[in-house]
Structure 1
Amino acid sequence: MQRRYLSLAAAGLATVMTLTLTGCGSGPGDGDVTLKLVAADYGDSAANSSQHYWDDLTREFEKKHPGIKIDVDVYSWTDVDKKVEDMVKAGKAPDLAQIGAYADYAARGQLYSVDKLLSIPTEADFTQSLADAGEYQRVPYGMPFGASTRRLFYNKKLFAQAGITSPPKTWDDIAQDAKLLKDHGVKMPFALPLGPEETQAETLMWMLGGGGGYTDSIGKYTLDSPQNVKTFEWLQKNLVAKGLTGGDPAKVNRADAFQGFADGEVGMLNGHPTLMKQAEAKGVDYGTTALPGSNGKAKATMGVTDWMMAFKQPGHRAQVGQFLDFVYSKKNVLKFSSTYGLLPVTVSASQEMMADDRYSKLHGFLEQLAGAEFYPADKTTWPLVSKTLKAKMGAAVEPDGNPSAVLSTIQNTADAADNAASGE
Structure 2
Amino acid sequence: MRRLRAAAAATLVTTLAVTASACGGGDGDGGSDGKSSKTITYWASNQGPSIQADKKILTKELAKFTKQTGVKVKLEVVPWADLLNRILAATTSGQGPDVLNIGNTWTASLQATGALLPWDQKNFDAIGGKDRFAEAALAAAGAEGKDPAAVPLYSLSYALYYNKKMFADAGITEAPKTWDELVEDGKKISKGGKTWGLGAEGGNLSNNIHQVFVLAKQHGADFFDADGKPTFTSDGAVAAVKQYVDFMAKDKIIAPGNAEYAQNQSLQDFSSGKTAMVLWQAASSTFEAHGMKPEDYGVAPVPVPSGTPGADKQTNSMVAGINMAVFKNTKNLDASQKFVKFMTSDAEQKLLNKTYGSIPPVKAAQDDAAFNRQDTKVLKETLLNSASPLPQVPSESQFETTVGTAVKELWADAAAGRKITTENVKERLNKAQQQMPK
* Equivalent residue in structure 2 for 1:379, among 381, 393, 396: 393
Amino acid aligned to 2:73: I
Q: Give the whole-Å Cα distance in 2 for the aligned partners of 1:223 and 1:191.
A: 25
The answer on whether the counterparts of 2:201 and 2:261 sit within 8 Å (CA) in structure 1 is yes
Q: Greater CA radius of gyration, 1 or 2?
A: 1
Query: Which of 111, 118, 131 in structure 1 is aligned with 2:116?
Result: 111
Give the corresponding residue for 2:180. Answer: 172
Instruction: Work out the CA distance in 2 between the residues paired with 1:230 and 1:319.
Output: 49
CA-to-partner distance for each residue in 1:52-100, whole Å, 9 max, x for gaps?
A: 233222211222222x332222221122222222111223332111122
Corresponding letter in the other structure for 2:99: L
Quote the residue 2:132 is aligned against: 125
Corresponding residue to 2:41 among 14, 36, 40: 36
User: Is residue 108–residue 394 contact of structure 2 (8 Å, CA) maintained in 1?
Assistant: yes
Aligned to 1:308: 324
1:260 CA drift (Å): 0.6
1:27-66 → structure 2 map (5 Å cutoff): 32-45=37-50, 47-49=52-54, 51-66=55-70
Amino acid at match of 2:68: K
SS in 1 for 2:264: helix
Partner of 1:394: 408
1:346 corresponds to 2:362: yes
Q: For this pair of structures, how many residues does the alignment match?
A: 392
* Partner SS state of residue 319, structure 2: strand
Letter in 2 for 1:77: W
Corresponding residue for 1:88? 91
Normalized against structure 2, the TM-score is what?
0.80
* 2:292 aligns with one of 254, 261, 282: 282
Identity of aligned residues (%): 21
Q: Return the match for 1:224 from 233, 236, 240.
A: 233
Q: What's the RMSD between the two structures over aligned residues?
A: 2.8
Distance change >3 Å, CA 408–CA 63, structure 1 → 2: same
SS at match of 2:324: strand
Give me the whole-angstrom Cα distance separating, in 1, the residues matched to 2:67 and 2:57.
16
Q: TM-score, normalised by structure 1?
A: 0.83
Whether the 8 Å contact between 1:223 and 1:408 is mirrored in structure 2 is no
> Which stretches in structure 1 are left out of the alignment for 5+ residues?
1-18, 420-424
Deviation at 1:192, TM superposition (A): 3.0
The letter for the 2-side match of 1:382 is E
For the 8 Å contact 1:122–1:329, the answer to whether it is kept is: no
CA–CA distance in structure 1, aligned partners of residues 430 and 335 of structure 2: 43
C-alpha contact 2:211 2:244 (8 A) present in aligned 1: no
- The 1-side partners of 2:271 and 2:46 are apart by 22
2:336 partner SS: helix
Task: Look up the match of 1:258.
Answer: 267
SS at match of 1:417: coil
CA distance in 1, matches of 2:231, 2:379: 27
The Cα shift of 1:403 comes to 4.5
In structure 2, what is the Cα distance between the partners aligned to 1:409 and 1:60?
51
Give the match's secondary structure for 2:256: coil
Runs ≥4 in structure 1, deviation > 6 angstroms?
Answer: none
Where does structure 2 lack aligned partners over 5 or more consecutive residues?
A: 1-27
- Specify whether residues 186 and 106 from structure 1 end up closer, same or farther in structure 2 by C-alpha distance, changes over 3 A only: same
Distance 2:286 2:435 in 1: 42
Find the counterpart in structure 2 of residue 8 from structure 1.
Answer: none
Corresponding residue SS for 1:23: coil
Preserved contact between residue 118 and residue 147 of structure 2 (Cα < 8 Å): yes
